[in-house]
Amino acid sequence: MGRSPCCDKVGLKKGPWTPEEDQKLLAYIEQHGHGSWRALPAKAGLQRCGKSCRLRWINYLRPDIKRGKFSLQEEQTIIQLHALLGNRWSAIATHLPKRTDNEIKNYWNTHLKKRLSKMGIDPVTHKPKTDALGSATGNPKDAANLSHMAQWESARLEAEARLVRESKLVSNPPPNLHIPAGSSSSSVMAAAATRPQCLDVLKAWQGVVTGLFTFNNDNLQSPTSPLNFTENMLPNGLIDDNLVGNSSVPCEGGVEYCSGNYWKNKERLLDSSMGLHEMSAWFHQDSYKEEIDMNMEGNNYSDMMVWDSGNDHQQNSSMAAPIENLNETNSGDGGGSGSSSLEENKNYWNNILNLVR
DNA sequence: AAAGTTCTCAACCGCTTTACG
DNA sequence: TCGTAAAGCGGTTGAGAACTT
């Protein structure tokens, strides 16, 4: 296009900001708002390019920024969201209130990535490193499994993007909108627009991915085929093992999510014929209203994502998974027999959540 | 205590996306 | 529909801090 970069102008300052510059920028924005970033430096009396001002404001000066150490909850959220979204830092940041994408990116690169690597988990694929090459079991089906998952992941990202795009078309609905079962798709989409859409996708994905990891190699089927997703394939990972099946702890918050209904509904999600509106309607039927309202009020999105409806009992239960299991799963040769490989997959999400303990 | 090494994170770069005339 | 400006985003860099030898 031939447009010159905004910072090419001679005489513009680069590098670290001084307190005086910060003060000027802060004072100007507080008084006038940022308006056009390109025009701001001249108006504010700064020898900086607009881009630099914008970055400084967004990543440092904004009053609603939380600085300092990341909490355990935040770390877990980042790991889980990264497994879901990859390096889409801005998308991840939308679920960590008061954290910037830059900060999350830095934290991932300097802390979490290394920690996962140390534990023998590929920070890109979020799978045990030897598995990534399909050689853990020496079984070619492992490679097919991975390829299959990659295709599914690709389709999932596309679906997520579409869902978000469609939701953006809907005008602002009232908060805490109750969506009765069987309501029209338009009102459902209005409800979808009241909160970060990614929550839905994450919730679904959490179910899907644990389900995928539970497949045995011989029964591996297309996740888009509801016909092959039978009851005996229901996941027994993160939620079922720790929260329902083996736990005496009641699922107080996200009833449907904890109970079998969630997993039954998952079959519907996996149906490729299920339109996005229908999918969204399914997400927002009555069974999810409680947790939606609860989290809308509390604004505690990250809690909801990681632990489902912020249920402390669930968190404790999940956190109680033995760390020895993790060490066994990911230590040394990182693989071995086919059956242990299955166990690895089955427990993967539990392990990830335990990594940062 | 000094030198060398590693780590952290603010800031920059350049590409992509969005908005608008 | 097209072209341009502005904003957004993710990858990378480098100065300074922290740590090790």
For the domain that residue A47 is a member of, what is the CATH number?
1.10.10.60
**Does residue A113 form part of some domain?**
no
| CB proximity list for A309: less than 8 A, separation 6 or greater | A252, A253, A254, A257, A290, A291, A294, A295
**Does residue A68 form part of some domain?**
no
| CB proximity list for A53: less than 8 A, separation 6 or greater | A25, A34, A37, A40, A41, A44, A46
Output the CA angle A298-A55-A64, nearest 5 degrees: 25
Nucleotide B14 C1' to residue A5 CA (A) = 9
Indicate yes or no: strand B within 7 A of the C-beta of A172: no
Average of pLDDT values for A106-128? 84
Q: Considering all nucleic acid strands, name the nucleotide whose C1' atom is nearest to the C-alpha of residue A15.
A: B11
Same domain, A189 and A272: yes
Q: Considering all nucleic acid strands, name the nucleotide whose C1' atom is nearest to the C-alpha of residue A67.
A: B9
Please report, as a single letter, which amino acid is at residue A338.
G
Nucleotide C18 C1' to residue A313 CA (A) = 39
pLDDT beyond 80 at A125: yes
Confidence of residue A290 (pLDDT cuts 50, 70, 90): very low
Nucleotide C19 C1' to residue A162 CA (A) = 48
**Does residue A112 form part of some domain?**
no
pLDDT beyond 60 at A15: yes
**Does residue A79 form part of some domain?**
no
Same domain, A197 and A57: no
Indicate yes or no: strand B within 7 A of the C-beta of A103: yes
Nucleotide C12 C1' to residue A111 CA (A) = 17
Average of pLDDT values for A110-135? 74
pLDDT-above-90 percentage for chain A:
1
For residue A18, list its beta bridge partners.
Answer: none
- Cα separation, A184 vs A182, in Å, equals 7
Same domain, A47 and A125: no
Q: Are A128 and A329 in contact (CB under 8 A)?
A: yes
In degrees and rounded to multiples of 5, residue A207 shows phi and psi of -70, -45
Task: Choose one of A61, A79, A97: the last residue of a domain.
Answer: A61
Q: Considering all nucleic acid strands, name the nucleotide whose C1' atom is nearest to the C-alpha of residue A110.
A: B8
Indicate yes or no: strand C within 7 A of the C-beta of A37: yes
Into how many domains does chain A fold? 2
State pLDDT tens for residues A183-241: 333 333 333 333 344 444 455 455 444 443 333 333 333 332 222 322 332 222 233 32
Query: What does the pLDDT read at residue A233?
Result: 29
Q: Considering all nucleic acid strands, name the nucleotide whose C1' atom is nearest to the C-alpha of residue A91.
A: C9
**Structural domain span for residue A168:** 121-355
Indicate yes or no: strand C within 7 A of the C-beta of A113: no
Confidence of residue A159 (pLDDT cuts 50, 70, 90): low
Q: Which nucleotides of B are covered by protein (CB under 7 A)?
A: 7-14
pLDDT beyond 80 at A105: yes
DSSP state for residue A70 in the 8-state scheme: P
Average of pLDDT values for A284-306? 36
Same domain, A135 and A18: no
How high is the mean pLDDT of chain A?
A: 54
pTM over 0.95: no
Same domain, A34 and A126: no
